[in-house]
Amino acid sequence: CQMIFQDPMASLNERAKVDYIVSEGLRNFHLYNDEQDRINKVHNALSEVGLLPEFSSRFPHEFSGGQRQRIGIARSLIMEPEFIVADEPISALDVSIRAQVLNLLNELKQKRGLTYLFIAHDLSVVRFISDRIAVIHKGRIVEMAESEELFRHPLHPYTKALLSAVPNPNPYLEREKKLLVYDPSIHDYSKDLPAWTEILPDHFVYGNKKELDGYRKELNL
């Protein structure tokens, strides 16, 4: 398991060269045969994220935000992980380069067969890269389903509120849409206790019996 951090500047040691930053995990666990093998692994990792091998001799402050995040991704990839936690990996980047980094992450997922735990607030981004989405409110998962299923059939009021805030590229639909505000006080769990329930195949929602009956009615079940 490896991690890609939100802030590409704070997560890199400013006093260390890229070569050291990317290969730190290799050094810590002695995952290379000799010095040349270590250098080759660093160069390959940099190339895989779209950076030149020569960049290994530079310091983080010499790079743009997008390049620094690519260095962070290379640092994760060099350890050959199967699972990567990506904590808001594009939120600190300029809008113009977010798509580039997101496409890179998606390509690496397909190429290496990686599993991401992708944490984000931007649901359009989550929809693009995720196979399944879990919606969390105050530390509790309130709904989980495959990405397209969640966007087609949102059930929990918090999920609906989040989706209503996603901008629509159609100006007419954007003007006409209704912005929903989630009010936690609508839930009365004093007697009818909530449970985590599979309401459709692979579509789970958190609610009590009254709420679940309402969700089933929405779905015509």
Read out DSSP for 16-58? S-HHHHHHHHHHHHT--SSHHHHHHHHHHHHHHTT--GGGGGS
In what helix (H) or strand (E) does residue 215 lie, and over which residues does it extend?
helix 209-218
> Bridge-partner residues for 204, per DSSP?
144, 198
Q: What is the pLDDT of residue 20?
A: 98
pLDDT value of position 22: 98
pLDDT at position 122:
87
The reported pLDDT for the residue numbered 172 is 83
Domains of the chain and CATH, by start: 1-130 (3.40.50.300), 145-221 (no CATH)
**Contact by Cβ (8 Å): 12, 67:** no
Contact 125, 43 (CB under 8 A): no
* Strands 132-137, 140-146: pairing kind: antiparallel
What would you report as the CA-atom Rg of the chain, rounded to the nearest whole angstrom?
21
The one-letter amino acid at 188: D
**What pLDDT shows up at residue 116?**
98
134, containing H or E segment: strand 132-137
pLDDT in tens, the chain (221 residues): 999 999 999 999 999 999 999 999 999 999 999 999 999 999 999 999 999 999 999 999 999 999 999 999 999 999 999 999 999 999 989 988 999 999 999 999 999 999 999 999 988 899 999 999 999 999 999 999 999 999 999 999 999 999 999 888 888 878 888 899 999 999 999 999 999 999 999 999 999 999 999 999 999 98
* Predicted local distance difference test score (pLDDT) of residue 70: 98
pTM for the model stands at: 0.88
The alpha helices in 49-194, defined as continuous H runs, are 65-77, 95-112, 123-129, 147-152, 157-164, 171-176
